Amino acid sequence: MIYFAIRLAVILVVGVLSAPTGSPAPTGNPAAAWCAALARGGVVIDVLGDSIMEAKDVQPPERRWHALLERSLRADGVLDRIWTTGAIGGTTAADFGPGGWYADRVEAVGNHPDLVIMDWGINDWVKGVPPATFSAQYQKVLDRIRAVAPGASVLLVHAPWVANETFIADHGDQVPHQQAIRSLARDNNTLYLGLDPYFDKADPLGLYAADRLHQSDRGQAVIHTAFRAYLLGLCGRG
């Protein structure tokens, strides 16, 4: 039941955001390169981001969303590897920008992946980074990704909402950072996937971990299904 609800939500609320821009961002269909790679097979995916992408606390590792996705896409005969060494808990977009602690992980994207998945925003929100500053820092990472992996499709992700009431009370509205990510996707003509529609803060399905910041085993399965439905759906596959 959850799977079909997610498939419907992908169709209704998640999509390709594209608009003309004055930057060097590519034009045309941002899914075209990904779909060509998927048709060819042996795709390589790089993941950059924070603890939501890393999912380090989920044990055993086979239950993490990216492990589930790797297994399912390999079973389809289309995947070579998903690299997650660029997914590091506690990080912000600035940590991956020029001079950042993990700028080398961006340089490693020069291994020529077919798709680069990126997700920051929660720690930026927690640390009080204003949305405009967050956007400018994220843009620097995007610019470098375009330079080192010009043939890769890029997917910007907005993580599930933080459901921890103490964090919400302390740090305020999460929507401006979400809107910044959507705008970056539009202005840079990248793909965009919002995971937030699939997670209810009341958590009737037990998709959050006890901290209500990260996702449980069930939540990992939902994230996997959302990614799978989106990435295959872009190319007319189910």
Q: Based on the structure, what is the number of domains in the chain?
A: 1
Integer CA distances (angstroms), 229 to 35, 144, 160, in order: 14, 28, 17
Contact 46, 111 (CB under 8 A): yes
Q: Virtual CA dihedral for 91, 93, 97, 99, nearest 10 degrees?
A: -40
Distance between CA atoms of residues 139 and 64, nearest Å: 28
pLDDT in tens, the chain (238 residues): 444 344 444 433 444 443 333 345 677 889 999 999 999 999 999 999 999 999 999 999 999 999 999 999 999 999 999 999 999 999 999 999 999 999 999 999 887 899 999 999 999 999 999 999 999 999 999 999 999 999 999 999 999 999 999 989 999 999 999 999 999 999 999 999 999 999 999 999 999 999 999 999 999 999 999 999 999 999 998 6
State the pLDDT at residue 11. 38
| One-letter-per-residue 3-state SS of 62-80 | HHCHHHHHHHHHHHCCCEE
Give the model's pLDDT for residue 112: 83
Q: Please choose, from the candidates 191, 181, 184, 185, the residue with its C-alpha nearest in 3D space to the C-alpha of residue 152.
A: 191
Summarize pLDDT for 39-92 with one digit per residue, the tens.
999 999 999 999 999 999 999 999 999 999 999 999 999 999 999 999 999 999
Tokens of 97: 């920008």
Handedness of CA 32, 182, 156, 59 (dihedral sign): negative
What are the DSSP E strand ranges found in the chain? 43-49, 79-87, 115-119, 153-158, 191-194
pTM score, whole prediction? 0.88
How far is C-alpha 14 from the geometric centre of its chain's CA atoms? 12
The pLDDT, as a whole number, for residue 62 is 95
Residue 16 resides in a domain: yes
pLDDT at position 66 = 97
Residues 6+ apart with CB under 8 A from 87: 47, 48, 49, 50, 51, 53, 54, 55, 66
The whole-number pLDDT of residue 3 equals 42
Residue 35 lies in a domain: yes
What pLDDT does residue 132 have? Answer: 97
φ, ψ for residue 225 (rounded to 5)? -65, -35
Domain span including residue 162: 2-233
In this structure, is residue 79 part of a structural domain?
A: yes
Strands (E), 59-137: 79-87, 115-119
- C-alpha angle with apex 64: 13 to 90, nearest 5 degrees? 85
Q: What is the pLDDT of residue 25?
A: 63
Q: What are phi and psi of 224, to 5 degrees?
A: -55, -50
Asked whether residue 238 is domain-assigned, the answer is no
CATH of the domain at 107: 3.40.50.1110
Distance (Å, whole) CA 98 – CA 204: 41
* Whole-Å CA distances, 151 to 32, 148, 161: 11, 9, 31
